[in-house]
Structures are given as C-alpha cells and as structure tokens.
Chains A and B, each alone.
Chain A
Amino acid sequence: MKIFSIIGLFVSVLLSESYFYEYNKRVNLVDLNQSEIINDKVIKYYQTSNGKRIGINDKIILKCINASTCNATLSKYSLKEINFINSTLLVATIFEGDDVFQISRILYEDDNIEFSKPNILQKVQRR
C-alpha cells in the first residue's frame, strides 16, 4: 500500500504544473490544496521537496539582463503590474486567473531575462 502511495506522489509531481526554475534547475512543488486570503490576496500553499511549506501569491520575481531594454522586454507579456526593486530586478503581478507558474516559466525562457520565479512566502525564522 505504501509503495502505491509513493508512486502516486511521484506521478503527481511529474504531471504537476506547479513547478518553476531556479539556479537553472526545475523546482517541483506539491499542491497542498490549502489557501488563505491575506490583505485581499489569495495565498496558495505548496510543499517543497524537503518538506517545507511555502506560500505562493500572484507575484513573480524576475531580473532583466539589461536595464535599458527591460521595459521593452516586459511589454511583450501580459502583466498586471510591475514594481522595480532596482533597475533590473522587479516584482511583476499577474492578472487574476493567470497561472503564476506558467507565466514565470515563460518569462524564464526569454533570453533577455536572467531569472524568473514565483515570489515565495515563508516564515523568516528569527534566530
């Protein structure tokens, strides 16, 4: 029985669309089917490969390779809002109903973008 559970989980991860790329590696998440609303924003919860529970909202963190062409690069995509942290690093908000993983992957494939990934919400541990 246990073996079937493990296989089931493995298959579900493979088929899952809940993944993104970071450090040029695919990062798979398991959907915990949990969500909550904080400040009118829906946060969905997932589990990482090491068992950590993280939240994902409607934001993507991405970095343009070139500051001067960043706006032109982003204009090709349907993004609700863009907030620059600095000249190349920014937080993009997607439209309601859009898939944050899918869009971050599309952006990741753009040659003018250095990295693109969902904005991770996790409790920062005081030490």
Chain B
Amino acid sequence: MLIFQSIFLSLVLFLLTGCGGGGGGSTNSTSSDTSSSSANSASSSNSSNTNLLVGTVSKGKVTQGSISIFKSDGTLLGTSDIVDGNYSIDIGDYDGNVKAITTILQYEDESNNNQTVDVNISLNAVSFVDSTSKVINVTPLTSIASDILGSDIGTKSKDEIETMNKFVASHLGLGSTDLTKQVVSLVGSGEQNIENTLEKKYGAILNAVANDSNISVSSDRSNNTAKLFASIKKLKDAIVTNDFNKTRKFIEDNLQEVNISISGIGTNFIESNITIPSNVSNSVALAKVLAYAESNGTLLPLSMLDFKSLGINGITLGNVNELNQKIANQNVNGVNSISKIQGIVNTSITEAINGLRSEQYFRYLWHFDSNTTAFDSGQYTLKRGSDINITKAWEMTRGDGVKVAVIDDFFDYTHEDIQANVIGTKNTVEGGTNVARTSGNYTPPTNPNNKTASHGSAVAAFIAAPKNGKGVVGVAPKSKLVLIRINFQEAEILSALQYAKEQNVSVINCSWGTESISQPVENMLKELYDANITVVFASGNAGKNLDGSDSINDESESQYVLGVGASASYNDVLGYSNYGNKIDILAPGGDVIELLSIDDTGEDNGSVAYGTNNLSNLVDHNYSFVLGTSFSAPIVSGVVSLMYSVNPHLTPQKVREIIISTAEKVQYDSANSIRPQEDYNASGFDVYRAYGKINAGKAVEAAQKLYIQE
C-alpha cells in the first residue's frame, strides 16, 4: 500500500513543482508568500497518510540518489530513493528535530541545458517535523546551514535549527523563512519564467553554484564531485563570515550568462563590521542578533546563551529580559553589531557595580574591596588582596534567579537590609513562619531603633543583602533568601534541610555544627547532594584540628558539603578557624578588623582597629561588626549562588571542583600568622589553609565558561 502511496505522491509532487526538463514555471506562481510552497502543497494533498514526510532534493533536479531521515538522537526514521527530485518517507508519528542526509549520484545541470551530471555528493538538511509541517527540502543551501550548525543536532533546540536555516536564507536575500520549508524550483535554467520572486532567487542561486563549479558534462564522477563541493564551500565561506560583498560577487559572477538580476542579498540584514566567531553555537547566536536587530526587537529576543556564546559577559538568567528591553529601546539601526550590544551590556554592568559600591557602608566591606582606606588610620593594617575578587564576579552576575536557604537560630527577617530578598520563612521549632527572636531569655535592646540580635540575619545578609542604598550589600544581592529557624533538635535540622529542598533552593548555608553528625543528617545531606543542591557548612572557631580526634565528625567534614574556614585581614588562615583534611576552602571571617553585617547585636563592640574608636561606633545600630567562620560560610554560599546564576546546570561536585581549582593560595604572614608556613601539596591542599581562599571572580568565570561549553 505504501509503495502506491509513494508513487502517487511522487506524481503529485512532480506536477506541482513543474517538470524537471527545464523551461517550465512553478505551479506556485501567484504569490511571493513562500508558505504556499509546492512542497507544502504536496504535504497537504497527501492527507491520506499524515505520517509521510515529503520534500524536494535539488542541485539541479536530482535524478538518481537516495535520502535517509534521522531523528535528533541519530536513530534512522526511514530511507527512500529520490524520484525526479522528490521523495516521501513514512516517519510514523515522530515529532521533533530531524536530519536529512542524501546521496546524490546524478542530477540535471541547469547551467548546461539540464544534461545529467554524475556525481557522488551528499547534501543535507537539518530541520524539524511536527503535526503542522512534514516538509523538508534539501539543497546546497540547506546543506550549508546544516554544516554550520554541526552534526550533533541532539544538542540543538528547534529554535536554533530554525534560526540557522533562516539566517542562511536571509543572508542570501531569500526572506526570513526557514530554507528547508521554502519552495525549491525544479525548473532548471528557466528561473526567469518563475513569477514567485523568492522561488526565482532560490533557483538562481542554485544555478550560480552550478555555474561556478563549471562542470562539463561528463561521467567523471570524481572530478565533478570535487568541483561541485568546492563551489558549495566557496558560498558557505561567504555566508559563514557574513561577507555580503563576497556573496554578491559569487552570485553575480555566476549569473551573467543567464541574465538574472539578483537583488536583496544582504539588504535584509544590517551590514556592519560583525564577524562571526568560529564555533557553531556562536553562528547561531549571531543569526539571532541579526534577526533581532532587523526585526525591531520583536521577533527573536536574545537568550542568555546567545549573549554568552557571543562573548558578551554580564548576562544571567535573571537579567536577559532587562537587557533585551534595553537593546530594543535603542535605535534599531544602531544595534546592529556585537560591539554595540556589548556596549549596552557594559554600560548596564558598570551602572550595576557602581550602584553596589555606593551602598551606605560599602567602604567597610573589606571582604569585597581590600583597597578601602576606611581602616587605614587604625592600629592594624588591612592587607591589600585579602578580599575575594568580587568585582570581576559582579561583571558577570549579581546572583539573579537563584534561591538560597539559610538555616540558623533566629532571623530579623524584616530588617531593612534583607527584607526585600526574603521570599520565605519557616520555623521548625515553634511552627509557623515567624523566625524572629521573640521569646526565650533574650532581652531586646532598649533603643527603639535597634533590631533584635539574630545570628541568622547577619549570616543571611552576607549572602544576599540587596542593593538599596542602605547599609551593606551581599555577595549575591539579587539572589533570594529562604530563612529557616532551628534550635537544638536533630529532627528540626532534618525538617529544615527537607524544607529547603522543597523550596527548590540551589544553595543551603549552615553557619553552625555539632561536631557529631548523625546518620540521618548525613543521609539527608547526600540526598541534597544528589539533588544538585550545594550545602555549605562553617568549620567552627575553636582553632581545632578536626582530624585530631576520632570523636569529632563535624558536619563541615561531610563529603556532601563544602566545609569553610576563615581567612584573615592579613590574607592568611585565621588562628581560630577549625581545620583538617576535609575542610575545602577559606573565606574572610573577620579578626581584629571585623566584617560588617546587619543586625545590632548589642553584644559585639568591635575592636580597637579604628584609631581610638571601636568599630561599632562607625555604623548605626542596625549594623554590627562580626567575626567567625559563621560569616566565612555565607560568603562562600554567596559565591556559589553567583555560580549557579551563570550556570544552572552545576552539580555540587562541579561547584567544589571549580571553587578549589580557582582558589587563591594564601600564604604565611610573618607579622600575623599563627599557623606554620604554607605547605600546599601537589593537589594544592594545605591542612591549615585547605585549598586556599575563595576567588569569586575566577570561580564565576569558570562556571560560566563551563555553561558555554555545554
């Protein structure tokens, strides 16, 4: 039954697309709208079998050859001979990306009176099929698009595939319809008789390829193949570099004999100094950039990956829309090159970073900027370079789109400098959502301007205090916080970890520990690890060797977490920081020059680091200077949040690999260090200093590069 259907279909296609002997016009001759293509008509006329994929194969009409259709995973869907330039294959109910690979052994050469030419060449097409479209045409032009896109279509989205087919079409002045869906004329050298402008152009360009190859009619298959291949490659080289002049010259030089005027090449696209990066995904992204500029910002807005594959940094999942809007708001004719789009992005980045640095107490945040002069008049010296290189990280992201859970005792969650980023609270002790310190033996400060003392608030602010002109700012000021209160029961810890998981957080910060991790907690940490959630634990402040006693089995030593120790204002490990072979990384923890965070504890009056004043006098009562690995851990959690923001595919294992491989190897400071001279082993590990101090800029950059490579 199928063979009869195929024969019938071939006849229909043959009639609809015109005879192959040359001279005739397409039956699809009344409109320039390519959607009424002959191939599409063939598809609709074949309603008796909706599973048939049909199309035309033309390099000149193919008279001998075969075609195979593959799914995106490489599975063969079907094969068919090519009959008079057409084929049909039953592909069942498959819906998705496909690759068509042909073997063409003979075609009619339209540049040589349609005489047959023997070749052995493969023309391909990458496209998609769904319930509304089961048409794929194959020509040298679809083959060029397919080559640029690459062979592994399993990794390409339908959008990417369609965009590349449109890009090649647009470059050649063939409108903005997917090449594989466009009418392909089989009329040979009679293009001048075709009334459909785009169809005429399409045929003329194929004719130009034929002329360029200068194949004399012969049965020298090998020689013919080489010539044809060289011509297709020449056109491809012009397209892939977006060199309209070269494309025009190729076509005009080769159409002189047939006297067809080709116009429109490149005019649909803005000609500029755009250069296409060498790899395939960049080509796809460029196609989108061009289409975007051409379409007044309404057709193909850029994705995060598009920006990044073009080498435009500073883009995360969260600010793509914002940047697209900024680009759209520009004069469209002015947004026609990557360098100009990069300019818009750079301006946005500069504005963002300047905004963060203008926060009220930014000058005291030495963990961000150790070049600050805020402590210069004090008794102790802040060592330049003791920060975490945050500015470079902020050029790429501010933590957009990432949720972080903080598990701690109390949170002043309405504090002016975290409230805007708090998206959820959970009290596992008393139940409900109030996680503030409202009970127990604590006496709130008498100053009405004071906020209640809460360890969790200070911890949370290090991660995601927002940009609001007040106080401090977090490592990931655009990340969102889920605050979970625990007290002292193992069951509370388990409930808190489970709740964090259910809130789809990417990072969980724990600035506490028991030194005796229970089996249920260890088991839960593994579940979180397997769920791609990175859990961060503080190592503790006793200056203790965690390897020194079998009885110590701290949460920070678990293989499923990042264990964090403290680095100093003199840029070495701090003496109070617990250490051992299972601690991973250091981050500033505060010492005589403490770290500033939110929350007036009323308990910590700082040190004498600032002249005759103590640190607490420098800031108002909603802020406090603090120290401890409790605050090193959230600095790391903030960096991890930034990493997830630029690469949502990260795993905890990959996070750890990146963080330790990009860490700065802090060194012994003769004036201040308590620990011995550094002794990093071949793996880069020192038992006191772990793998060194976290470098936010390098870690985020590595995470982003990994995302692009994926």
Which residues of A come within 8 Å of B, CB atoms?
22-23, 48-50, 52, 55, 59, 61, 63, 85-86, 89, 91, 114-115, 117, 119-127
Residue numbers in A under 8 Å from B540 (CB-CB)? 125, 127
A125 engages B520 (CB within 8 Å): no
Q: Are B514 and A115 in contact (CB under 8 A)?
A: no
Q: Is the CB of A122 within 8 A of B491?
A: no
Are A22 and B498 in contact, with the CB atoms below 8 A? no
Inter-chain contact B520/A63, CB cutoff 8 Å: yes
Q: Is the CB of A117 within 8 A of B486?
A: no
Q: Closest 9 interchain pairs by CB?
A: A50-B551, A127-B538, A127-B630, A120-B490, A124-B512, A22-B519, A91-B491, A119-B491, A126-B455
CB-based contact A63/B523 at 8 Å: yes
Give the residue of A114, A120, A127 whose beta carbon is less than 8 angstroms from that of B513.
A127
Query: Given contacts A59-B491, A85-B498, are A127 and B514 in contact (CB under 8 A)?
Result: no
Query: Contact: A126 with B489, CB < 8 Å?
Result: no
Interface residue tally for chain B (C-beta within 8 Å): 35
Q: Is the CB–CB distance between A48 and B516 below 8 Å?
A: yes
CB-based nearest A residue for B512: A124
A residues less than 8 Å from B633 (CB atoms)? 127
Q: Is the CB of B519 within 8 A of A122?
A: no
Cα distance, A50 to B538, chains bound together (Å): 22
In the complex, which residue of chain B has the Cβ closest to the Cβ of A51?
Answer: B551
Hey, which chain B residues are within 8 Å of A120, CB to CB? 489-490, 518
A86 CA to B541 CA, complexed, in Å: 33
A and B contact pairs by CB, cutoff 8 A, 11 listed: A48-B516, A50-B551, A50-B552, A61-B490, A63-B523, A85-B495, A89-B524, A115-B520, A119-B489, A122-B516, A124-B512
CA distance A115 to B629 in the complex (A): 32
- B493 beta carbon closer than 8 Å to chain A: yes
Minimum CB–CB distance for B545 against chain A, Å: 15
User: Would B516 and A52 count as touching, CB distance under 8 A?
Assistant: yes
Number of A-B contacts (CB under 8 A): 84
Q: Which residues of A contact B539 (CB under 8 A)?
A: 127
Complex Cα gap A48–B552 (Å): 12
The minimal Cβ–Cβ distance linking B699 to chain A, given in whole angstroms, is 22
Within 8 A of A (CB), among B506-536: 511-516, 518-520, 523-524
In the complex, chain B residues whose CB is within 8 Å of the CB of A48:
516
B513 contacts A124, CB within 8 Å?
yes
| Minimum CB–CB distance for B649 against chain A, Å | 25
Q: Is A121 a contact partner of B490 (Cβ separation < 8 A)?
A: yes
Please give me the residue from chain B that is nearest to A123 by CB atom.
B488
| Residue from the list A23, A85, A124 in contact with B488, Cβ < 8 A | A124
Residue numbers in B under 8 Å from A91 (CB-CB): 491, 494
B488 in contact with A86 (CB, 8 Å): no
Q: Which chain B residues lie closer than 8 Å to A124 at the CB level?
A: 409, 486-488, 493, 512-514
Report if A89-B494 is in contact (Cβ < 8 Å); known contacts: A115-B520, A126-B511, A126-B630.
yes
Q: How far is the CA of A124 from the CA of B36 in the complex (A)?
A: 72
**Smallest CB-CB separation from A55: which chain B residue?**
B488
Please, how many angstroms separate the alpha-carbon atoms of A108 and B486 in the complex?
26
Min CB distance, B651 to chain A, in Å? 21
Bound-state CA distance A61–B519 (Å) is: 10
- Whether B25 sits at the interface, judged by CB under 8 Å, is no
In the complex, what distance in Å separates the CA atom of A42 from the CA atom of B541? 32
Question: Do B516 and A61 touch (CB < 8 A)?
Answer: no
Given known pairs A89-B498, A117-B520, the reply for A61 and B491 (CB within 8 Å) is yes
Known: A85-B495, A121-B489, A127-B540. A115 touches B519 (CB 8 A): yes
Determine whether the beta carbon of A61 is less than 8 Å from that of B628: no
**Using Cβ atoms and an 8 Å threshold, which residues of chain B touch A85?**
491, 494-495, 498
Chain A residue numbers with a CB within 8 Å of B486 are: 124
Distance in Å: Cβ of B539 to nearest Cβ of chain A: 8
> Assuming A50-B551, A63-B520, is B514 touching A125 (CB within 8 A)?
yes
Cα A125 to Cα B516 with chains together (Å): 11
Q: Which residues of B contact A117 (CB under 8 A)?
A: 518-520
Taken together as a complex, chains A and B put the C-alpha atoms of A53 and B515 apart, in Å, by 13
Per-position contact with A for B419-458: 1 when CB-CB < 8 Å, else 0? 0000000000000000000000000000000000001000
Chain B residues within an 8 Å CB radius of A22? 518-519
**Cα distance, A100 to B524, chains bound together (Å):** 22
Q: Which of chain B's residues has its CB closest to A118's CB?
A: B490
Query: Do residues B628 and A127 form an inter-chain contact, with CB atoms below 8 A?
Result: yes
Name the residue on B nearest A21 (C-beta).
B519
- B488–A126 contact, CB under 8 A? no
Residue of B nearest to A120 (CB): B490
Taking CB atoms, residues of chain A closer than 8 Å to B487 are 124
| Contact A126 to B518, CB < 8 A, known contacts A61-B494, A119-B489, A121-B488 | no
Residues of B within 8 A of A63 (CB): 520, 523
Q: Which of A52, A55, A89, A123 lies in contact with B520, CB distance below 8 A? A: A89
**Chain B residue at minimum C-beta to C-beta distance from A49:** B551
Q: Which residues of A contact B494 (CB under 8 A)?
A: 61, 85, 89, 91
With both beta carbons as reference points, the residue of chain A lying nearest to B486 in the complex is identified as: A124
Instruction: Give A126 to B455 CA distance when docked, in angstroms.
Output: 8
- Within the complex, the shortest CB–CB distance from A46 to chain B, in Å, comes to 13
B498 pairs with A86, CB closer than 8 A: yes
Give the contacting residue for A127; candidates B490, B518, B541; CB below 8 A. Answer: B541
What is the CB-to-nearest-CB distance from B556 to chain A, in angstroms, rounded to a whole number?
9
Q: How far is the CB of B399 from chain A (nearest CB, A)?
A: 23
- How far is B515's CA from A52's CA once the two chains are assembled, in angstroms? 10
The interface residues of chain A lying within 8 Å CB-to-CB of B513 are 124-125, 127
**Which residue of chain A lies nearest to B553 when distances are taken between CB atoms in the complex?**
A23
Question: Are A127 and B512 interface neighbours, CB within 8 A?
Answer: yes
